[in-house]
Structures are given as structure tokens and as C-alpha cells.
């Protein structure tokens, strides 16, 4: 059986690198991409190599970053640009294989098993060629991991975060991968790493030799999966992306969107404006994916002590209507707290789960609700078509315009789709 050739390509300091490429004045300077302090989301989203060298960290406040790096240049995020550069990079990958699986905007796995011989048969030469093309054509650098499986390919690209290529093979993985900290491997998060360290398992090699009793008792099935990963046992395929959708064929389990409000929400109209904006984004994305939901959930973070809660409700008939999602989300919040200054809200998240295809027929009933829902669905789809042609702000609901600041937001456009889970 032919050995697989898998690469994981990670664009270095992606957000900050795009900013530096778009504005030559920023090249060579300490740059951070950050939210807007005026909207109270002023944290570091990404930093350039120069900023990282000064100790700037992702998720810290801008003022903290500037204490470490007084000359730090802070720029706002430009999600449209990130999506464009991400698409351009994948167009390069497509010239080598049709098996391209994105893992967020800046990372992709590619499977060259069937096409490597077309490009000379040397995986390292092809990796160098791809790296050089991204640098020459897009002005960005990439780290590339090369291996026979996805887990070690990603580990390789993570090992050298600066324009390097690391090959992890069946011959060298004990020397290359096993000495690394267990936390370097995909799906070993902080909590899992703490449990492993507490039991004396510090490295990937330690995890590779962990016993059945310990893994089963402390982690269950995922423990055995992680041990397999540490031993290079991973047969998961590189899932083919649909270039037209810029997406892979995977099962969507939920669609959500959240936002820290520009100011504390202290009354019903404040909360309603944000809930409808978020519900509009979630529902529009559902319709784009041809999905309906039966469960709507909300997450709320309070302004005072930053405590929060989440609640959900389940429908009898699935929906993708903005009005349904918004009314359910609003009802969940109203049922769980007063909407006044004493109970001010800082952030809200709306999520749709328990999804089904829009191609599935709706259950009819004697009250005619299904037919009414289909008529409302057609209206929402017509609005979506207008927005696809003229932008999301061409049609507004009146409730979204009750707040001048929030009415100017385009939450769907600025929404960042986070990496698809490795486990499906």
C-alpha cells in the first residue's frame, strides 16, 4: 500500500502579516491586530514576529501590550482581506492536488499521495516550492509540516513557526516528535496537559507509552485516541474542499455568533437591537447552508462582575427564520433576568443547533403553520439575495436601528468562522 504524503501549511502571523503586506510602512515594525477599545473589545487578536519578540501576547489588552512594546502599531482587523488572502493561498495549493482541507483561514492540510509523482516525487522539494510561491505571489510566509498523517503534519508545521519545513517520518518521529511537550499535539489542551503532567506524562513520548488503565480512567475513549496520535496512528482523510463554497464537506453541528456590546445594555430596546442583529447573522448563515434548526440557545455575560449564563429552548418544527430565532433568544433572556441598569448586559451570544436540511419537508398541521413558515422563509431568502448583491446593510429591520452604533454594524460580514474541529 502506498505511503500517504500529507502536508499541513500554516501561514505565519497571518492577520498581522496581511496588514504588513497591504501597508509597506508596517513591514519590519511591531504590529498588532486588535479590536476597538471604544467598542470594549480592545484585545490583541494577532501580532507580528517583531511584536512577539517584544513579549506581546494574543488575548492581552492593548494597554498591556504597549507597556511591553511602546512602539507597537495597532491596526483594526480586516476580515475581508483575510478571506481573500486565504482563498488565494488555497488556489496555489489546488495546483498540486484537489484534496485541500482548510483548518481555519490560515491553515490547510493537503494530500499529495496521488499527485506527488507529477511534481518530481520529492515531498520536500514540493513543500519548498509551495512555500516559495506563497512568499513570491502573496508576500506571506508559511510553515509546512510533511508526514504520512494529519496529526504529525500539523505538529511539524507548529514546530517551526517561521517560514520552515519540518518532515516527520516513520523513521524519525521518535526522535522528532516524542521529545516535544504533550501540549504541542492537537487536542491536548491546557486541561488535558495538566492532567497528564500531574500523572508524570510530560512529553508526547510519555503519552505514547501511557497505560490503558490510566487513559481509560482519566480520559475515556479520547485518551486512547491521543495515545494513537502520539504513535502516529491516524488514518483520518484530508477532506476535499468545495472551491465554490470555500468549505469542506462536513457535518455542521451548530451556527452561532456573539458580540461584546459597544456599551452596557440597560433596557429592553438595547438588548433587542443586539439580539436581532446576532439572530440575523445566524439565520442568514443557516439559510446559506440550506439548514434549519430546532434548538436556539443564548449566552449572556453581565456587565458588573462578568458572570454569565446560557439557556436554550427546543422547537417542535425546525426554522431558519430570523424572526423565530430572535424572538426565542429574546424570550430566553427576558425569562432569566430583568432588563435594567442593575442587571446590565455586556455581551450576548446566539446559537442555532439541532440542525436539519431545508430540503427536508416540514411537518404539516391543521393550523397551517408550516405553509405560513414557508412563505416567511421565501421572504427571508429574497432579502438574502438582495444582501448578496448589494451588501448586508442594504436592508435593515427597524428594530436593529434603535441604537445608532449597533445599527451601523455588519455582524455577519465581520464574523470569523473558527477552525473546523479535527474530529467530526
Cβ 62 vs Cβ 43: under 8 Å: yes
Helix, strand or coil, per DSSP, at residue 201: coil
Question: pLDDT per residue over 4-44, tens digit each?
Answer: 999 999 999 999 999 999 999 999 999 999 877 665 557 88
Catalytic pick among 50, 107, 280, 377:
107
pTM: 0.70
**Half-sphere exposure of residue 12, counting CA atoms within 13 Å on the CB side?**
24
Name beta bridge partners: 293. 319, 355
Burial of 101 (0-12, 13-18, 19+ CB in 10 A): buried
Binding site per annotation, positions for Mg(2+) = 10, 106
- CATH superfamily of this structure's domain 252-414: DNA polymerase, Y-family, little finger domain (3.30.1490.100)
Distance CA 303, CA 291 (A): 33
Spacing of C-alpha 269 from chain mean position: 30
Pull the grid cell for residue 350: 446566539
CA distances from 307 to 230, 332, 343, 346 (A): 38, 17, 11, 10
Cβ 145 vs Cβ 154: under 8 Å: yes
Helix, strand or coil, per DSSP, at residue 377: helix
Question: pLDDT per residue over 136-177, tens digit each?
Answer: 999 999 999 999 999 999 999 998 767 899 999 999 999 999
Please report where in the chains the cell 494513537 appears, as a residue: 228
Q: Where are the domains positioned within the chain?
A: 6-11+81-230, 14-79, 252-414
* 418, pLDDT greater than 50: no
Distance CA 158, CA 156 (A): 5
Binding site per annotation, positions = 10, 106
**Could you give the angle at which helices 14-22 and 79-93 cross, rounded to 10 degrees?**
100
14-79 folds as MutS, DNA mismatch repair protein, domain I (3.40.1170)
**CA-closest candidate to residue 173, choices 118, 215, 228:** 228
CA end-to-end span of the chain: 26
Question: pLDDT per residue over 381-409, tens digit each?
Answer: 888 888 878 777 677 777 766 666 555 55
The band of 249, judged by pLDDT with boundaries at 50, 70 and 90, is very low
Cβ 134 vs Cβ 163: under 8 Å: no
Helix, strand or coil, per DSSP, at residue 157: helix
Distance CA 65, CA 44 (A): 8
6-11+81-230 folds as Alpha-Beta Plaits (3.30.70)
Question: pLDDT per residue over 256-293, tens digit each?
Answer: 888 888 788 999 988 999 999 999 999 998 998 889 99
Spacing of C-alpha 407 from chain mean position: 25
Q: Known catalytic residue: 107? A: yes
Question: pLDDT per residue over 65-108, tens digit each?
Answer: 999 999 999 999 898 899 899 999 999 999 999 999 998 889 99
Distance CA 201, CA 215 (A): 11
Distance CA 118, CA 112 (A): 10
Predicted local distance difference test score (pLDDT) of residue 38: 61
Amino acid at each position: 500500500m502506498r505511503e500517504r504524503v500529507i502536508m499541513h501549511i500554516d501561514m505565519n502571523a497571518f492577520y498581522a502579516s496581511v496588514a504588513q503586506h497591504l501597508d509597506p510602512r508596517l513591514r519590519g515594525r511591531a504590529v498588532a491586530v486588535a479590536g476597538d477599545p471604544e467598542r470594549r473589545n480592545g484585545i490583541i487578536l494577532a501580532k507580528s514576529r517583531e511584536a512577539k519578540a517584544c513579549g506581546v501576547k494574543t488575548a492581552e489588552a492593548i494597554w498591556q501590550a504597549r507597556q511591553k512594546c511602546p512602539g507597537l502599531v495597532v491596526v483594526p482587523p480586516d476580515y475581508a482581506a483575510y478571506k481573500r488572502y486565504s482563498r488565494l493561498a488555497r488556489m496555489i495549493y489546488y495546483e498540486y492536488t484537489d484534496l485541500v482541507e482548510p483548518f481555519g483561514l490560515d491553515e490547510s492540510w493537503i494530500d499529495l499521495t496521488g499527485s506527488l509523482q507529477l511534481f518530481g516525487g520529492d515531498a520536500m522539494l514540493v513543500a519548498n516550492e509551495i512555500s516559495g510561491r506563497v512568499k513570491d505571489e502573496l508576500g506571506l510566509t508559511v510553515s509546512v509540516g510533511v508526514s504520512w498523517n494529519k496529526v504529525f503534519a500539523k505538529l511539524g508545521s507548529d514546530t517551526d513557526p517561521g517560514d520552515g519545513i519540518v518532515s516527520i517520518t516513520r523513521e524519525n518521529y521518535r526522535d522528532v516528535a516524542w521529545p516535544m511537550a504533550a501540549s504541542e499535539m492537537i487536542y491536548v489542551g491546557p486541561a488535558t496537559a495538566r492532567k497528564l503532567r500531574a500523572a508524570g506524562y510530560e512529553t508526547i513520548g510519555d503519552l505514547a507509552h501511557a497505560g490503558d488503565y490510566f487513559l481509560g480512567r482519566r480520559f475515556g475513549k479520547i485518551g486512547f485516541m491521543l495515545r494513537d496520535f502520539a504513535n502516529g496512528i491516524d488514518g483520518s482523510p484530508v477532506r476535499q474542499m468545495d472551491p465554490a463554497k470555500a468549505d469542506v464537506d462536513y457535518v455542521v453541528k451548530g451556527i452561532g455568533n456573539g458580540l461584546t456590546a459597544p456599551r452596557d445594555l440597560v433596557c429592553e430596546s438595547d438588548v433587542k437591537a443586539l439580539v436581532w442583529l446576532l439572530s440575523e447573522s445566524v439565520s442568514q448563515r443557516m439559510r446559506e447552508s440550506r439548514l434549519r434548526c430546532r434548538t436556539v440557545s443564548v449566552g449572556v455575560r453581565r456587565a458588573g462582575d462578568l458572570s454569565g449564563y446560557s439557556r436554550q429552548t427546543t422547537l417542535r418544527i425546525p426554522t431558519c427564520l430570523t424572526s423565530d430565532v430572535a424572538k426565542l433568544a429574546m424570550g430566553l433572556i427576558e425569562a432569566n433576568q430583568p432588563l435594567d441598569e442593575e442587571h446590565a448586559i455586556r455581551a450576548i451570544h446566539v446559537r442555532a443547533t439541532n440542525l436539519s436540511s431545508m430540503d427536508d419537508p416540514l411537518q404539516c398541521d391543521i393550523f397551517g403553520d408550516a405553509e405560513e413558515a414557508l412563505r416567511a422563509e421565501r421572504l427571508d431568502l429574497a432579502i438574502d439575495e438582495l444582501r448578496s448583491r448589494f451588501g448586508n446593510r442594504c436592508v435593515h429591520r427597524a428594530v436593529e436601528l434603535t441604537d445608532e452604533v449597533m445599527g451601523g454594524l455588519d455582524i455577519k460580514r465581520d464574523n470569523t468562522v473558527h477552525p473546523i474541529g479535527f474530529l467530526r
